[in-house]
Chain A
């Protein structure tokens, strides 16, 4: 049971992170290599604010807002000029941002790793089906479900979501209709980044925060996004849970094979069904 819970909570964390990436891709066609760096930034911000204010929620808010704004700045300043150029410039540019963000984090918080204290209300454990489950893990699962529900609601039911979906399939038309396509794009990038920041903040109490997060988590992120289908948020949910479970089960029974297994899945998918396991073609939500 505890394996299942760990798997689900890992899956939810991955979902929070990967949903942002797939949103950005579906909207802008950009694979944001710096997504892991944004995640790391979120973790550090949450840690810092929580340390100063003692409030976990303040940390969450700061991380989400802060990274969201950073993302918008990134898009506005660096990505916007590149839209008319071949895609690969955006690809390598976002790689450059990993260095910049990592260095910025290093400047502010130094090299060592940090530990974020678990918020008191969510510390502790419960008994569930014969296993001892940390409450925080359940919180992560619940929170993830909440966010995914909110995301679907916004994308499918709201006007903003409609604009986003329209702009992603025909940006030119949106512009002709007089709608602010550029602003929508910035907003979407901001939301995607904010999700990464949120993911970082949520995961902060679970893992030590350190600089390697920028380049390590992005790989898992790619795996999930490719398996789910670039731009496909429903697919990302399924893929995140799949990878989360694979990791949880793997760590328990065959720890040295987990990474290899997940990579093999990625490569196999890229070669046989690049549009993802869960979609017929790449689309948004």
Chain B
């Protein structure tokens, strides 16, 4: 079965579940959990553009999430803009943040790329926590964040907000599907697999990477704005590098490089968390163990493995990075085999 058919089949299942949930349960906690899963899924699919499609390990995506969240909070609270305007600003803020990051981070590759993204986002965390306290509320954060204001519907009602988030989620997934199947998406996948060949064919690889980052950041910003609305609260923790680590865990567990993999990963993560925390407070450590085991023996993630089984003869190796994680060579030194 072709990947696109698989994705459509999965989409149908997911749609069924998403539509069914509010009718199966009135439990506020479960509804909120479902909303959180959808918001994190948005973040994860956006993240996977850089991680899975482009093949670069970014430890800085928390910055886009947090920027979006603060943008929404400030826009609605400080400047009295509507929620929708705030969300729009969150998207723009995430994109702008990603653009700035890419200017720095794309100058290096591999481990250094991971560390630059880590450093930049952690710097933002520190700024949010201290120097920009007047804007961000520092460690105390910004409480009392509002909800959408569409057509007079009360979105503080969990069910109503659920539908709102579900609609956004559906839009983002549709966008991702189109993007990945488009000439642009294919080109980015090509860059991951063989950057030199891609540039030899005429692709401006640097520009492709920047745009991927930009889109990824925009979606991260959107997720951040929604997250702030879900929690009705915003604080610097969203910017901490461990948040970036969390999304890496989720994406890998679910299947990096696939459309639905990140969603599956979020679901798995949250489901495991709920289940495990039922009988032990040490669920985070166990998740860490699961993640380690997955990295060792199951790197293509749940969906990666499943899709390999169902469909095309995909080789087992998953998102191997475009750059392979090497330290930068001295300029102009002939690198063994790379240009031969």
Classify A-B as touching or not with yes or no (CB < 8 A). yes
Footprint of B on A, CB under 8 Å? 31, 78, 81-82, 85-89, 91-93, 95-100, 102-104, 106-107, 215, 219, 222-223, 226, 230, 256, 259-260, 263-264, 266-267, 270-271, 274-275, 281-282
* Complex A-B: 30 CB contacts under 8 Å: A82-B295, A82-B296, A86-B324, A92-B248, A93-B296, A96-B288, A96-B289, A99-B288, A99-B291, A100-B288, A102-B284, A102-B285, A103-B284, A103-B285, A103-B286, A106-B285, A215-B240, A219-B122, A219-B241, A256-B131, A259-B130, A260-B123, A260-B131, A263-B126, A267-B120, A271-B116, A274-B108, A274-B112, A281-B330, A282-B327
| Chain A neighbourhood of B241, CB < 8 A | 215, 219
Known: A107-B282, A267-B123. A86 touches B292 (CB 8 A): no
Q: CB distance A271 to B130 under 8 Å? A: no
Chain B, residues 164-193, CB within 8 Å of chain A (1/0): the string is 000000000000000000000000000000
Any chain A CB within 8 A of the CB of B104? yes
Number of residue pairs spanning A and B whose beta carbons lie under 8 angstroms apart: 129
Q: Top 4 closest A-B pairs, CB basis? A: A103-B285, A99-B288, A87-B325, A96-B292
Known: A256-B131, A267-B120. A91 touches B111 (CB 8 A): yes
Q: CB distance B292 to A78 under 8 Å? A: yes
State the Cβ distance, A167 to closest chain B Cβ, in Å: 17
A85 to B316, CA, bound (A): 12
Q: CB distance B296 to A78 under 8 Å? A: yes
Closest residue on chain B to residue A79 by CB atoms: B296
Question: Of residues 245 to 295 in B, which have CB atoms within 8 Å of A's CB atoms?
Answer: 245, 248-249, 252, 281-282, 284-289, 291-292, 295
Closest residue on chain B to residue A215 by CB atoms: B242
A282 to B110, CA, bound (A): 15
A268 to B10, CA, bound (A): 45
Q: Interface extent on B, as a size class? A: 35 or more
A97 to B285, CA, bound (A): 9
A226 to B324, CA, bound (A): 19
Question: Of residues 90 to 119 in B, which have CB atoms within 8 Å of A's CB atoms?
Answer: 104, 107-108, 110-112, 114-116, 118-119
